[in-house]
Amino acid sequence: MAGGMASASNSAGIYKGRAGLLILPSWLVIGFFLLLPVCMMLIYSFLTKEFRGGVIWEFSLAAYDQFFFNRGLFGDEPPKIEWTYITIFWRSLWQAGLATAFCLVIGFPTAWFIATRVPRHRTVWLLLITIPYWVNLLIRTVSMKFLIRDTGPLNEFLLWLGMIGEPIHLINTNLAVQLGLFYSYLPFMVLPIYASAERYNFALSEAAADLYAGRWTILRLIILPAVKPGIIAGSILVFVPSLGAFLAPDLLGGAKTFMIGSLIEEQFKGNAGNWPFGAAVSMILLSIVMTVLIFYARNQTRREAL
Amino acid sequence: MLQRTQDTTVAVDIDRVTKNYGAFTALSGVSLDIRDNEFFTLLGPSGCGKTTLLRSIAGFEEISDGAIRLYGDDIAGLPPHQRPVNTVFQQYALFPHMTVAQNVMFGLLRLRKSDSEAQTRCAEVLELVQLSPFAQRYPNQLSGGQQQRVALARALAPKPKLLLLDEPLSALDLKLRQAVRVELKQIQKETGITFIFVTHDQEEALTMSDRIAVMSAGEVQQVGTPRDVYEAPRNRFVADFIGETNLLDVSVTSVADGQALCVLPGGREIICPAAAVVDPGPGHLSVRPERMTLTAPADALLSGRVENHVYLGTDMQVMVRLEDNEVLTLRVQNSDAVSVPDIGTQVGIALEAGAARLLAD
Amino acid sequence: MSKVADMRRFPGFLQLTLLCLLVLYAPLMVVMAYSFNDNTSITIWGGFSLRWYEDVFFGVEAPKFKQAALNSLTIAVMAATCATVIAVSSAVAMMRARRLRGRTASFALINLPLMVPEIVTAVASLIFFSAIGFTTGYATILVAHIVFCIPFAYLPIAARMQSIEDTYEQAAMDLYATPAQAFRLVLLPLMMPGIFSGFLLAFIISLDDFLITNFVKGAGIETLPTAIFGSVKQGIKPNIMAISTLLLLVSVGFVTLSYLASRMGQNKTKT
């Protein structure tokens, strides 16, 4: 079909008639090995659990029921709201939000500082920020664990300085998880803000200064609105992976700092072995993330339409 | 110059070509005959369809209707690589990863010329554009003017039947552009290849072309030699687009044998050439500012009051408000011998013979 | 100092930037330093030594880690290669076709692996492979890696293509190149820096992955991250720090390579 036909109608657009063929591999691979699996996961969340992992092909709402309601040990009591999993979600949202806020507070000044260097120095600063991102996340998290242990270098250093009298207990606390998340995703905040800041027209600052605005007024009224797209993009890039993070809570936290990632992992790898429940929790996580992303995309198109 | 006797072989026959982009019509039924060995210019403001027409000839746009014939063969359905036509692109589109020589030989090698043949031809065209010492350089090591000449050499190398030039001078600065005009015209004469040149710059069009097609809104407004389109514009668009002009509202009494009898504002009658047979009634005269002179108010064809002047170096621009409130612009050469009347003075205006022309619309 | 200040600067921003770098680098530096510690106890400094590097290459656990490293490497090379080929083909379609049905949908699809949280991808893949009866192992890891590498390979390639005007291909076609020749002789060489960056990015991302691999790997096969994770679960040992340092250096090497490649690309096409 392609041969003669294509060459005759090919005078406009070189890849005309071939575009569909070129895009096909992406559709096949991602469609078959990600889109289809996600649909399957949705189905699994409505099936009955098999005790040693896996499922029985029988429709059941048990997974979602287990998430939201407590019917007592034998399932015969009147349903009460089950707080265990909602608390885990709440903690995850809170931790992810906090990590986003911390990353913003440190990331914005950093991005701005880099964007205001001379171009030659900018690349060096930027490289310094990106290198840790390229280092294996597992290794980074393990390094953090090593650093902040009760007998780790951080505590020893502080003791040696005489700043503290006894080691600070950080490991297995929410603060340690928070530190891990912040450390894991900080570059994700810096880079998009930098991309926005780099395009900022400094004549705007000068115009504002000319109109009697002080330095911090300029930052608030002119610069922050101008780099807002970068801030939003950065926030999403930090928030979304933090929400489903596994390594930081698992390695740096303990039982009291349980987050969604660990909850899901436990259903498949751990002893609980409840696949439908794991699938249901994954679906709930996915819907939260997709809601955030759809809001973002909506906003983005509205911004472009302006 | 000698070979340019009225050669009437048609090189490109553009036959009622229409191009639609959805609801937008970029070209509506354009017909043109471009002759062999001709330097032909498509002139018009941006968005008039000139580039679309050029790209349709090159094969980058699919035409919606009509035919494009190159020496009799319909090429409208062929992809670009099967058309014996080459293009000099606006931003040159020199392949940045190839040297000048590799760029120039690209087309020759695609036509399966042997290496030695390609190299000989490459040397030849680089000689023609005076870039022989730069053969091994990369495009980004050349100045804008040199890049432009590489683009020309690359397009000329395969000896196309037709060379298309898409505003090739627009990226150059003014001084260089003027020098390249002369050079380009010279190369066209030497090679004897038919050139179709697209520009929005009327000066470029007037200085280089054998013939010009003035385009607007997807249609050809007028085709003619530079002298034709400048001195005998057909309609208001052409008169206004090429050079400066005054459009005078007149009342047409009659048109016969190419001559029109019109009543000027102020009541005097004038006989002038007409671009077309126009029905009696309101019409427009085109008068070039440099073809009018200031006279005493008494007995003048037109009269009014000097409203303003603007000093332009060699010339003085004088605006005169006529009795019916129309403003005419005149050009008066600056010299010590002539003094320009003060603002507010009552003046008369005389027209040189043949200065006024009744337009078709 | 004059009162006329540079409007670009804000007091304290330099300090915050340095704090940012401190947070990013301190853990890595500490682990690097302690990997040279000549003491079995990881806490007490016992002088400089290369014994843990020796242990990595020749120790008791060396065969396990070597096998894991080999698996990681071969999977990363194959996954990055496949992802890059798919990404190039998609980028050409997305950036060059004038009319492409479902362009927005295709864009969303290519970026889907970035949008779905890693843990969800991991769960979905595990469920899918078990449902269709695909034995978990080397092949499942490879397939999963190809999927999430595609957007990472795609982004630099598409960014690169965006900066290549399609007049280059038109010029090639105008000079009698067939569409295939225009692609091979003109577009492909111009895209090369983007393809190179895309490949490297995909490679590192594949090498980096722990979570998805851990879900789909099945028993009996380890990649470097899963092997390290398994070992760390029983406490951080000095040999892990040596491995970490080595991996860190590999990553830094790749970033530098990618940076140099992109700079070379910029120099060449600057006009």
Q: What is the pLDDT of residues B88-128, one digit of tens each?
A: 998 888 998 899 999 999 999 998 999 999 999 999 999 98
Give C170's contacts in chain A (Cβ within 8 Å). Answer: 14
**Residue in the block written with tokens 């911090």:** A216
Residue of A nearest to B75 (CA): A11
Is C246 within 8 Å of C56 (Cβ atoms)?
yes
Residue B1 has pLDDT above 80, yes or no: no
The tokens describing A108, both together, are: 């914005």
The mean of the pLDDT values for chain B is 87
Please state, for a pLDDT cut of 90, what percent of chain B lies above it: 33
* ipTM of the shown complex: 0.86
**Chain C within 8 Å of B147 (Cβ-Cβ)?**
yes
pLDDT band with cut points at 50, 70 and 90 for residue B154:
very high
**Which of C:24-43 have CB within 8 Å of A?**
24-28, 30-31, 34, 42-43
pLDDT band with cut points at 50, 70 and 90 for residue A180:
very high
Q: How far is CA A67 from CA A46, A52, A283, C122, in A?
A: 13, 20, 12, 20
The tokens describing B343, both together, are: 């603002």
pLDDT tens digits, one per residue of A103-143: 999 999 999 999 888 888 888 888 888 888 888 889 999 99
Query: What is the mean predicted confidence (pLDDT) over A244-259?
Result: 86
* Angle between helical axes of A137-148 and A174-198 (0-180°, round to 10): 130
C21, C30, C147 ranked by CB distance to A147: nearest: C30
B89, B97, B107 ranked by CB distance to C176: nearest: B107
pLDDT tens digits, one per residue of A288-301: 999 988 888 888 77
Pick from B78, B263, B242: nearest CA to B161: B78
Residue A10 has pLDDT above 70, yes or no: no
The tokens describing B356, both together, are: 């006024």
Angstroms from B62 CA to nearest CA on chain A: 5
Instruction: Quickly list DSSP for chain A.
Output: --HHHHHHTTTSSTTTTTHHHHHHHHHHHHIIIIIHHHHHHHHHTTEEEPTTSSEEEEE--HHHHHHHEE--TTS-SPPEE-HHHHHHHHHHHHHHHHHHHHHHHHHHHHHHHHHTS-HHHHHHHHHHHHHHHHS-HHHHHHHHHHHHSTTSHHHHHHHHHTS-SS----TTSHHHHHHHHHHHHHHHHHHHHHHHHHT--HHHHHHHHHTT--HHHHIIIIIHHHHHHHHHHHHHHHHHHHHT--HHHHHH--GGG--HHHHHHHHHTSSS--HHHHHHHHHHHHHHHHHHHHHHHHHHHHHHH-
When scoring C164, C173, C175, C184 by the number of chain B Cβ atoms within 10 A, the one with the most, hence best to mutate, is C175
Q: Do A29 and C211 touch (CB under 8 A)?
A: no
Q: Considering the entire predicted model, what is its pTM?
A: 0.82
When scoring A136, A239, A263 by the number of chain C Cβ atoms within 10 A, the one with the most, hence best to mutate, is A136
pLDDT of residue A16: 64
pLDDT band with cut points at 50, 70 and 90 for residue A35:
very high
pLDDT tens digits, one per residue of A214-239: 788 888 888 888 888 889 989 998 99
Query: What is the mean predicted confidence (pLDDT) over B193-206?
Result: 92
Angstroms from C235 CA to nearest CA on chain A: 10
Say how many C-beta atoms besides its own lie within 10 A of residue C102's C-beta. Answer: 12
pLDDT band with cut points at 50, 70 and 90 for residue A38:
very high
C174, C186, C269 ranked by CB distance to B87: nearest: C174
Name the E strands within chain C: none
**Which of B:37-96 have CB within 8 Å of C?**
58-60, 79-82, 85-87, 89, 91, 93-96
- pLDDT beneath 70, residues of chain C: 1-7, 41-43, 265-271
The one-character DSSP state at C187 is: I
Q: What single letter denotes the amino acid at residue C132? A: I
Residues facing residue A47 across a β-bridge: A59
Domains of chain A: residue spans and CATH: 1-44 (no CATH), 83-273 (1.10.3720.10)
Residue B165 has pLDDT above 90, yes or no: yes
**Chain C within 8 Å of A134 (Cβ-Cβ)?**
yes
Cβ neighbours of residue C67 under 8 Å, at least 6 residues apart?
A: C222
Residue A284 has pLDDT above 60, yes or no: yes
For residues B304 and A214, which has the higher predicted lDDT (pLDDT)?
B304
Cβ neighbours of residue A286 under 8 Å, at least 6 residues apart?
A: A38, C116, C117, C120
Q: Do C7 and A293 touch (CB under 8 A)?
A: no
Angstroms from B183 CA to nearest CA on chain C: 23
Say how many C-beta atoms besides its own lie within 10 A of residue B290's C-beta. Answer: 15
Nearest-angstrom CA–CA distance, A183 and C267: 34
**Chain A within 8 Å of C186 (Cβ-Cβ)?**
no
* Beta-carbon pairs below 8 A across chains A and B: 17
Is C140 within 8 Å of C125 (Cβ atoms)?
yes
For residues B14 and C134, which has the higher predicted lDDT (pLDDT)?
B14
pLDDT of residue B268: 82
**Nearest 10 degrees: CA dihedral of C95, C98, C104, C105?**
-100
* Ranges B76-90, B214-228, B274-288, C31-45: which has the least confidence: C31-45
Query: What is the mean predicted confidence (pLDDT) over B353-361?
Result: 82
Neighbours of chain C (3+ CB pairs under 8 A): A, B
* Ranges B2-6, B321-325, B331-335: which has the least confidence: B2-6
B80, B138, B139 ranked by CB distance to C173: nearest: B80
Residue B3 has pLDDT above 60, yes or no: no
**Chain C within 8 Å of A153 (Cβ-Cβ)?**
yes
